[in-house]
Amino acid sequence: MPLLKVEHVSKSFNDHIAVDDISFTLDAGVVYGILGPNGAGKSTTIRMIMNILVPDKGRINLFGASMNEDLKNRIGYLPEERGLYPKMKVADVLTFLGELHNLTPADARQRAMRWLERLDLAGHAHQKVDTLSKGMQQKVQIIGSLLHDPSLLILDEPFSGLDPVNTNLIKDIMLELKNEGRAIMLSTHMMETAEKLCDRILMINHGHLVLEGPLDKLQQRYGSQSLQVEYNGDAAFVRELPMIQKADIYANYMEIRLKDAAMRKEFLKIIADKLDIISFKSQKSSLNEIFIREAGETHA
Amino acid sequence: MHKIFVFIKREYRETVLKKSFIILTILTPILMISFTVVPALLLEMESSQPTVINVYDPSNTVAASLPRMLDDTLKTGQPRYIFNIISSAKAGNNLIPAQKDLVTREVIDGFLYVPPTVMDSNVVRYYTRNAGDFDVSIGLKKTVAAIITEKRLLSSGLQPEKIKKLTHTIDLQTIKINKSGKESESDFESEYFSIFVFVMILYMTLIMYGTGIMRSIVQEKSNKVVEVILASARPVQLMTGKILGQGLVGLTQYILWATVGIAIRFAGAQITAFDTNVLHFSTATMIWFVIYYVLGYFLFSALYAIVGVASTTDQEAQQASMPITLLLIVPILVLTMLVKNPDSPLIITLSYIPFFSPIIMFARISIGDVPFWDIAASIALLITTIIVLINITAKIFRVGILMTGKRATLPEILRWLRS
């Protein structure tokens, strides 16, 4: 049984359609990436999962039940818009957040101290939040979403504003939680990060689902469609071949995109007959390339 | 329930431990003490010396009787006034300038000159450095006038004793009769003063704690902390926690102030021998005060919460909350009228309207006896309004709490209500 099941969910604000008929499922032990440019509908989707916004259409199931307030205690949430009480002490804010998730004050405080230790913030436990740097505040807020040992962790742009050292620290924690069998949903517009962390991805643009599936399969599929060939001879005929989707042909070099990866072998046979091939390369595409290809536009 | 409690705890702890709360809580009683006790103490210290007055009265019209008639004593038992009568025999040409000089050089406090023509001109002169000391000048005026009147009566052949008897002033005793016919002698001035004080406390605390809630909602919105909270609790829980938490803060402050007030009444009276017992109130008044404060607090905090949730900055909220402040000002405006005629139709009508009743009904109850059904009706109306209003606020809260960027317009708020 999937941990999270989103079925045909839509949401619009006034006349603007923010999310249009999105469906996906999320299983335990998986890092699931929601990718898309700014304004694609990632945060709206997440807010609907969190029951902060109510979908206009569609259904959301969590832990086998429809979303209700009790389930919130099993979810850890880092919103895109960060915010803590600036005048409260770090340890007090974390205790408060833990208590909101039904921990006892003593337990919440103890857990908070353990995490602060782990994230190098133990020395700041009794300082007020607004005396901390942006990055530190962000780490405090990440701790806030982890305190109550959630089965599902939803992180909206968790790395924005973090330096490389802290980024790695958080990545390690995420992978560790994944290996413990928790589900992690990671929303980001940074494809490179998603590439390294995610098992499965969902790409959305303008509220529409662009692409969904396991990352390695997607990359293979798209990767093997792209070919780069160095050759000697006249390659003009390549343009006319039926399996070609797009061809950039230069004097001794060409970049080819096939309609289907399965046609690679046939394509090779044809050009090997007519050209003197020096090198041949077929690469995994980056998520960035895949996105540009599918959404047909660049993104921020 | 558990989450509401967590919100109450945070709200209470963070507000009560804030510097501004501690300062305000300590400073208010200190100011109250300084405004009431300190001037009295100063006055006492100031007048612990007798006032020395030289009197020159060549026709000897008042000089002989003056010391006998103005024989007040100070706390120390010394006479309040010391009169030195200057005999006409010693008087030279320069007597008046010389006496004035004594006043300027602070040898004496004042110089009273009674011209021989006083019986016709009706004028006496009092030279002093301190013309603002009305105690002395009024005392002198009254006494000199009395002596001269007596002289005139005597010289026209009438007996002063008889005149005194015939012209004795009448003492008006005011007795309050309530509707059940019970009579009570009352000190109206201090009673009205007490009502005024209580009404002002109601007015100020309702505004203070109402705007407190408003501001804390605006802050949570602008801190963006609200989304983290909504990830684990419902907006209604947050709102309820805030209103109850701030309400407890208010109650804490009240209890602290009341304790200080009672302490001053007991200890203060002993230390200064000054009548600090200026507030006259009964236990019943206190109970009504608390009931109407609590009800008024719920009503107005719900209103202020709506403004808070619809605004994005403190300034916006401040402006948008003006109408609420006006609702609170109305009872203050009609207060004088209320004291004069608590049974006027306007006052009675206002005392039923929930937005005015916390202050007006309380004032009516403390002045005269209001029929039980009037009170019950006003409280029932108030509670109904509070329930309806809290539901409306909760609805507006649910949508408005996540809204950022710009202040919501009234049509927008109405749309939230329907959604």
Listed residue (B117, B130, B191) closest to B339, CA to CA: B191
CB contact under 8 A, A73 and B232: yes
pLDDT at B214: 92
Q: Is B224 on the interface with A (CB under 8 A)?
A: yes
Token couple for B7: 């919100």
- Which pLDDT band, with edges at 50, 70 and 90, does A298 fall under? very low
pLDDT at A259: 81
CB contact under 8 A, B14 and A83: no
Higher pLDDT, B416 or A120: A120
Q: Is A243 on the interface with B (CB under 8 A)?
A: no
Q: Which residues 16-55 of A are in CB contact (within 8 Å) with B?
A: 50, 52-53
Report yes or no on B238 lying in a domain.
yes
The residue extents of the domains of chain A are 4-213, 226-284
CA distance A98 to chain B (A): 10
Q: Nearest Cβ partner of B402 from A52, A85, A88?
A: A52
Token couple for A241: 């071949």
- Residue ending a domain, among B113, B131, B166, is B166
Report yes or no on B44 lying in a domain.
no
Tell me how far CA of residue B199 lies from CA of B26, B95, B162, in angstroms: 21, 58, 50
pLDDT at A288: 76
Is the distance from CB of A79 to CB of B227 less than 8 angstroms? yes
Please name the residue of chain A whose CA is at the shortest distance from the CA of residue B231.
Answer: A50
Task: Encode pLDDT of A30-48 as tens digits.
Answer: 999 998 888 888 989 998 8
Architecture of the structural domain at A4-213: 3-Layer(aba) Sandwich (3.40)
Domain that holds residue B337: 2-37+188-418
Q: Nearest Cβ partner of B231 from A52, A87, A99?
A: A52
Q: Are residues B9 and B65 in the same domain?
A: no
| Beta-bridge partners for A32 | A185, A200
Please name the residue of chain A whose CA is at the shortest distance from the CA of residue B4.
Answer: A100
Distance separating alpha carbons of residues A144 and A109, to the nearest angstrom: 11
- CB neighbours of B243 closer than 8 A, spacing ≥ 6? B213, B298, B301, B302, B305
**Tokens 């003197």, located at residue:** A276
pLDDT at A118: 92
Architecture of the structural domain at A226-284: 2-Layer Sandwich (3.30)
Task: Encode pLDDT of A247-288 as tens digits.
Answer: 888 888 888 888 877 788 888 888 888 889 999 887 766 777
In degrees to the nearest 10, what's the CA dihedral of A82, A85, A87, A92?
-110
Token couple for A145: 């979403």
CB contact under 8 A, B226 and A99: no
Residue B138 belongs to domain with CATH number: 3.40.190.10
Q: Are residues B145 and B197 in the same domain?
A: no
- Which residues on chain A are in Cβ contact (under 8 Å) with B220? 83, 85
pLDDT at A23: 92
Best mutation target among B227, B242, B415 (most A Cβ atoms within 10 Å) is B227
Task: Encode pLDDT of B166-206 as tens digits.
Answer: 878 888 777 777 666 666 665 666 667 777 888 888 888 88
Percent of chain A with pLDDT over 90: 40
Residuewise pLDDT in 10s, chain B (419 residues): 788 999 999 999 988 888 888 888 888 778 877 776 677 677 666 666 788 888 888 888 888 888 888 877 776 777 888 888 887 776 677 888 888 888 888 888 889 888 888 888 888 889 988 777 777 888 888 888 888 888 888 888 888 788 778 878 888 777 777 666 666 665 666 667 777 888 888 888 889 889 989 998 898 888 888 888 888 888 888 889 999 998 898 888 888 887 777 776 666 555 554 444 555 566 777 788 888 988 999 999 999 999 998 888 888 888 889 999 999 999 888 888 888 788 888 888 888 999 998 999 988 888 777 888 889 999 999 999 999 998 888 888 877 777 766 667 777 777 777 76
The runs of H, that is alpha helices, within B264-368 are 269-272, 283-310, 314-320, 322-333, 335-340, 345-350, 357-367
Q: Are residues B351 and B215 in the same domain?
A: yes
Task: Encode pLDDT of A164-223 as tens digits.
Answer: 899 999 999 999 999 999 999 999 888 888 888 899 999 998 888 888 889 888 877 776
Q: Are residues B231 and B335 in the same domain?
A: yes
Compute the count of residue pairs across chains A and B with CB atoms less than 8 Å apart: 57
pLDDT at A175: 92
Sign of the four-CA dihedral B387, B388, B392, B393: negative
Q: Are residues B332 and B396 in the same domain?
A: yes
Task: Encode pLDDT of A90-118 as tens digits.
Answer: 999 999 999 999 999 999 999 999 999 99
Is the distance from CB of A21 to CB of A9 less than 8 angstroms? yes
Listed residue (B90, B78, B85) closest to B57, CA to CA: B85
Distance separating alpha carbons of residues B355 and B325, to the nearest angstrom: 11
Please name the residue of chain B whose CA is at the shortest distance from the CA of residue A47.
Answer: B231
What domain count does chain B have? 2
| Beta-bridge partners for B53 | B83, B110
CA distance B219 to chain A (A): 9
Token couple for B177: 């009769």
